[in-house]
Amino acid sequence: MPKPKQHDPAERMLNLLALLGNNAQPQTLEQIMDQMGAEYGSSDEGRRTSFERDKAALREMGVPISNIVLRGDAAGKTAYFLNKKGYGTLASQLTVDEIKALQEAAAMVQIDTEWGRRAVVRLGGVIDDHVGFGTMHLESGSLVLPELWRATNECRVVSMRYNAKDRTVHPYGLLSRDGYWYLGAYDLSRKEEVVFRVDRIQGDVVIGATQQAFVRRADYKLADAMPADAKLFDGADEQAVVRIDKVLALTVARELGQSGVILTHENGDIDVRVSCANRVAFRAWLFAMVDRAEVLSPPNVRQEVIGWLNEVASGI
Amino acid sequence: MRGRNSWRRRIGKRGPRSAKVRVQNALHIMPWVMERGGSTVEEIAQQFGLTKEEVLEDLSTAMVCGVPPYCGGDMIGVVVFEDGSVEAHPSQSFDRVLELTYVEIFGLSVLADAAAQLPGMKRDKRLASAIAKLRDFLGGDVVDVETEQATYLDIVWEAAEKGEKLEIEYLSPSKDISTKRTITPRTVFGDAGHWYTTADDDLSNESRIFRIDRIQEVRATGQVVNIVAATATTPSWFPDDGTLPVVRAHVKAAAAWVVETYPCRDVQENDDDSFDISIVVNSAHWLGRLALRAGGNFVITEPIEFIDIAQRTAQTVLRRYSDVSELAD
C-alpha cells in the first residue's frame, strides 16, 4: 500500500490561515476539514489533534485566531475566524520617530538575546549593527524572564523552586539592578511581599492558566519595595559609625551621600553613619575596604566585627 | 561587536528550521514586502537577520499555499524573480503585521528602558514617548531597569563624544592605590551593574579600562584630540592569558555569590550546594579582600602561597582595632 503523502506542517498552517482569512464567515472544524481534510489526515482524532496544534502555534506567533459558539442550525458548534482587531496594535500606535528611537536603543543595548531586536524589526525598524562609542550590556538571556514578565503583566500565579523550597507567588514586578534581575511578588505561603533574585530560581517556573488571578497592589513599585542599600534589607534600621581612610573617603561619601558623613578629619579621613541591620551585607561592604575602614561604634557591632576577624584570622 | 551576525556566530550554525519558524518568517516578511510594494531577497535577508537561502525557503513555502483548490488566484500572491526581486500581492490574510509575541515585547521593554539610562539617550523625547506608549500598552510598570548613577558618567561620556582629555584621580582597590593621570575616553560601556570607559591612558601609554565610579576627581582639560572611530564592546573580564595566577577554591553555599559574581572556571557544583572552582587572581590584595568578605566560606586549596591569605588579611585588619590586645595566631 503506498505511504500517504506527508504534508509539510508549514504549508498546512499557511493554508489554514489563508482559508480563515478568505472566508467572511467563521468556519467550524467540519467546514475546515471539508476543504483541507487531505492535509490533516484520515482519522477524526488525528485531524483534531493536528488542527489544535496548528491553531495553538499560529496563536503563539501572534495570529489572532478567535472563536465563537454558533447559534441556529449549527447551535453549540465552535467556529473560528481571524480577528482583524488583534493585529499589530502596538505597531500602529508608534510613530516613525519613536520606532527610530527604539532602533537606536537596539543598537546601543545588548541583552544577550534577539528578542528586543526582533521586536524592532517587526515594528518596521532596521537594526544598524554598527555600535558607536557607547553601549550597555544587560544580561537578560534567562528564558524564565519573559515567562515571569507575562505572568506579571497578566496577573497569573507563578509556582517555582527557590532556596530549595517550592513557592507559589503573585508576581508584582521585575527589576534589573546592579546586573541582576529581581522579581517582586506576594508569597502565598509566607503571606508577605518578598523580593526574589531571578538567577536563583531553580529550574523552570510554572505559570498559572488563569489570567487576572489576583489584583496587584495599586501603589506597588518594586524599586521602592527593594531598598537600594542591601545593608538595610533586614528591616530594623540599626546603624554603625565607621571611620574611612582618606583614600576611600570621596568614594564612600558619594555612595552614602553627604548626609551620611558625620565628621571630616584634618587628615582627610571621614566618619560615616551607615546601616548595618543586614550583617551579611554590612560585612561585605565593610571588608571590601579591608584595613581602610574601622567600625567605631556601637560597641556591640565593633565587637562583632572583631569576632568575625578573629574567626577568620585563626582559620576557624 | 555583538551585532545580529555575531550573535548567530555565537549560537553556532543553524540546523534544520522548524515549520513554526518558517511560517513565522513568512508572516513577517509578506506584510513588510507588501507595504513597500516589493523588495529583494537580499534586502529581506538583511532586514530580518536571515540568510538568503532561508528567505528563499520561507517564500517558496508561502508560494505553494493558498485556499482550495489551490490554483491560480487561490494562491498566496508571492513571486520571487530570477534577479532576486520579490513581489507580494495584497492579500487579506497576509498583509497585516502580527502583534509582537510576549517574548518580543519583554525584550523591547528591556531595550527601551535600558537605553533611556544612557547619557546619549536619556533626554531623547522620541524614546521617552515610545516608552510611555509601551507602558500604556502593557498596562503599567512591570519591567524596570536601574543602572548605577556614576557621578562622572556624563562628563566621561561627553569627553568620549568630543575626544577631550580628562585629568582624573583614580582609585584601584585591587592594588589599594590612588593615582593621578590624564586619559582620553574612547568608548563608554555599562556591564554587570557598573559603567566603564576604555581610554588612552597617558600614565601607562596604553589603552586601559577604568570603572567610572572609581574616578574620585575629574577635570576637563579643554584639550581635544582626533576622535577614533571606536566601537564599544564589553570585554572579557579577568583575561586568562596565562600571566595571572589561578587559585583553586572550595566555596560553601553561603558564599555562592562568589561564583555568581566573578568569572570562575572548572566549576563543580556539589550535592550540598557548595562549589569547587578555579579563579584567575587579579592581585593578591584583591584575593585577600574576596576571601575576607566571604569569611570561612571561601577556602583556597591551592596554590600553597594563597592558602592562608584570608587569615593574613584578617590579621592586617585586626591591627586597626587598637583595643585588640592580642591577635589570633
| Partner residue opposite B111 with nearest CB, options A116, A130, A152 | A116
What domain range includes position B109?
A: 102-138
Q: Is A310 left (phi over 0), alpha (psi -120 to 50) or beta?
A: alpha
Q: What is the pLDDT of residue B249?
A: 93
Tally of domains in chain B: 4
pLDDT grade for B241, boundaries at 50, 70 and 90:
low
- Choosing from B224, B255, B274, the residue where a domain stops is B224
Strand arrangement of the beta sheet that strand A65-69 belongs to: A27-28, A78-82, A65-69
Q: What integer is the mean pLDDT of A272-300? A: 89
Note whether B310 and B292 are within 8 A (CB).
yes
Higher pLDDT, residue A203 or B233: A203
For the entire predicted model, the pTM comes to: 0.72
- Report the relative pairing of strands A134-137 and B177-191 from DSSP bridges: parallel
Q: For residue A138, list chain B residues with Cβ-Cβ distance below 8 A.
A: 110, 114, 145, 190
**Topology at the third CATH level for domain A144-226:** SH3 type barrels. (2.30.30)
Domain assignment of residue B178, yes or no? yes
| Neighbouring residues of A210: CB distance < 8 A, sequence distance ≥ 6 | A156, A157
**B75 DSSP 8-state letter:** B
Higher pLDDT, residue B90 or A18: A18
Grid coordinates representing B171 are: 582609585
pLDDT in tens, B89-125: 877 778 788 888 888 889 999 999 999 988 888 889 9
Q: What is the pLDDT of residue B234?
A: 67
- Cβ distance A122 to B109 less than 8 Å, yes or no, reads no
Q: What is the CATH number of the domain that holds B36?
A: 1.10.10.10
Whether pLDDT at A280 is above 50: yes
Long-range CB pairs of A124-127, under 8 A, 24+ apart, other chains included: A124/A91, A124/A99, A124/B32, A124/B35, A124/B97, A125/A99, A125/A100, A126/B47, A127/A103, A127/B3, A127/B4, A127/B49
Q: For residue B124, list chain A residues with Cβ-Cβ distance below 8 A.
A: 101, 104
pLDDT in tens, A115-131: 888 888 888 887 776 66
Half-sphere exposure in the Cβ direction for B194 (13 Å, CA): 12
Q: Which sign does the torsion angle of CA A13, A18, A19, A24 carry?
A: positive
Q: What integer is the mean pLDDT of B6-22? A: 60
Q: What is the pLDDT of residue A129?
A: 66
* Cα A127 to Cα A115: distance, rounded to the nearest angstrom: 13
* CA nearest to B124 within chain A: A101
Q: What is the pLDDT of residue A46?
A: 87
Q: What integer is the mean pLDDT of A207-212? A: 91
- Cβ distance A115 to B103 less than 8 Å, yes or no, reads yes
Put simply, whether B65 touches A (Cβ < 8 Å) is yes
Q: For residue A121, list chain B residues with Cβ-Cβ distance below 8 A.
A: 28, 47-49
Q: What is the pLDDT of residue B240?
A: 59
- The CA distance from B166 to the nearest CA of chain A, in Å, is 17
pLDDT grade for A54, boundaries at 50, 70 and 90:
very high
| Partner residue opposite B171 with nearest CB, options A94, A119, A251 | A251
Q: What is the pLDDT of residue A230?
A: 55
Please indicate, yes or no, whether residues B22 and B79 belong to a single structural domain of this protein. Answer: yes
Grid coordinates representing A250 are: 570621596
Q: What is the pLDDT of residue A6?
A: 64
* Cα A32 to Cα A80: distance, rounded to the nearest angstrom: 9
Q: Is B103 exposed, middle or buried (0-12, 13-18, 19+ CB in 10 A)?
A: buried
Whether pLDDT at B8 is above 80: no
In this chain, the answer to whether the domains covering A9-86 and A144-226 adopt an identical fold is no
Mean pLDDT of chain A: 86
Q: What is the pLDDT of residue A271?
A: 94
| Interior/surface letters B296-324, b for 16+ CB within 10 angstroms, e for the rest | bbbbbeeeeebeebbbebbbbbbebbeee
How much is the ipTM here? 0.73
Q: What is the pLDDT of residue B10?
A: 33
- Choosing from B162, B193, B224, the residue where a domain stops is B224
Q: What is the pLDDT of residue A186?
A: 93
- Cβ distance A124 to B97 less than 8 Å, yes or no, reads yes
Please indicate, yes or no, whether residues B256 and B303 belong to a single structural domain of this protein. Answer: yes
Place of cell 530570477: B82
pLDDT in tens, A82-113: 887 777 778 888 999 999 999 989 988 988 88
Q: What is the pLDDT of residue B237?
A: 58
**B108 DSSP 8-state letter:** H
- Report the relative pairing of strands A165-177 and A180-187 from DSSP bridges: antiparallel
pLDDT in tens, B267-285: 888 888 889 999 988 788 8
* Cα A198 to Cα A162: distance, rounded to the nearest angstrom: 9
Higher pLDDT, residue A43 or A299: A299
| Neighbouring residues of B63: CB distance < 8 A, sequence distance ≥ 6 | B75, B76, B78, B79, B80
Spell out the alpha helix ranges (H) of A23-81: 29-36, 44-61
| Partner residue opposite B234 with nearest CB, options A97, A137, A315 | A137
pLDDT grade for A304, boundaries at 50, 70 and 90:
very high
Phi and psi for B267 in degrees, rounded to 5?
A: -80, 125
Whether pLDDT at B326 is above 60: no
Domain assignment of residue B146, yes or no? no
Q: For residue B316, list chain A residues with Cβ-Cβ distance below 8 A.
A: 290-291
Put simply, whether B252 touches A (Cβ < 8 Å) is no
User: In chain B, pLDDT over 90 holds for what percent of residues?
Assistant: 36
**Topology at the third CATH level for domain A232-313:** Alpha-Beta Plaits (3.30.70)
Considering only CA atoms, give the Rg of chain A: 29
Domain assignment of residue B241, yes or no? no
Higher pLDDT, residue A306 or B93: A306
pLDDT in tens, B153-164: 999 999 999 999
| Neighbouring residues of A54: CB distance < 8 A, sequence distance ≥ 6 | A9, A12, A13, A16
Please indicate, yes or no, whether residues B79 and B123 belong to a single structural domain of this protein. Answer: no
Q: What is the pLDDT of residue A130?
A: 64
How many other C-beta atoms can be found within 10 angstroms of the C-beta atom of residue B241? 7
Place of cell 503571606: A191
pLDDT grade for B4, boundaries at 50, 70 and 90:
very low
User: In chain A, pLDDT over 70 holds for what percent of residues?
Assistant: 93
Q: What is the pLDDT of residue B26?
A: 92
Return the domain boundaries, chain A. 9-86, 89-137, 144-226, 232-313
Q: C-alpha angle B95/B101/B106, rounded to 5°?
A: 135
Which among B232, B269, B230, B231 is positioned nearest to B250, based on CA atoms? B269
pLDDT in tens, B166-185: 999 998 877 778 899 999 99
* CA nearest to B322 within chain A: A294
- Cβ distance B173 to A288 less than 8 Å, yes or no, reads yes
Q: For residue B110, list chain A residues with Cβ-Cβ distance below 8 A.
A: 109, 111, 115-116, 138, 140, 176
Grid coordinates representing A74 are: 449549527
Domain assignment of residue B190, yes or no? yes
| Partner residue opposite B97 with nearest CB, options A91, A95, A106 | A91
Indicate the CATH number for domain A9-86. Answer: 1.10.10.10
Domain assignment of residue B63, yes or no? yes
Q: For residue A294, list chain B residues with Cβ-Cβ distance below 8 A.
A: 320-321
| Partner residue opposite B68 with nearest CB, options A36, A111, A250 | A36
Q: Which sign does the torsion angle of CA A177, A180, A184, A187 carry?
A: negative
Please indicate, yes or no, whether residues B24 and B81 belong to a single structural domain of this protein. Answer: yes
Note whether A241 and A271 are within 8 A (CB).
yes
- Report the relative pairing of strands B246-251 and B206-211 from DSSP bridges: unpaired
- Cβ distance B19 to A10 less than 8 Å, yes or no, reads yes
User: In chain B, pLDDT over 70 holds for what percent of residues?
Assistant: 88
Whether pLDDT at B260 is above 60: yes
Put simply, whether B175 touches A (Cβ < 8 Å) is no
Q: For residue B142, list chain A residues with Cβ-Cβ distance below 8 A.
A: 149, 152-153, 173-174
Q: What is the CATH number of the domain that holds B212?
A: 2.30.30
pLDDT grade for A296, boundaries at 50, 70 and 90:
very high
pLDDT in tens, A62-81: 888 998 888 877 788 899 99
pLDDT in tens, B43-92: 999 888 889 999 999 999 988 888 888 777 778 888 899 999 999 887 77
Q: What is the pLDDT of residue A53?
A: 93
Note whether B66 and B76 are within 8 A (CB).
yes
Please indicate, yes or no, whether residues B269 and B214 belong to a single structural domain of this protein. Answer: no
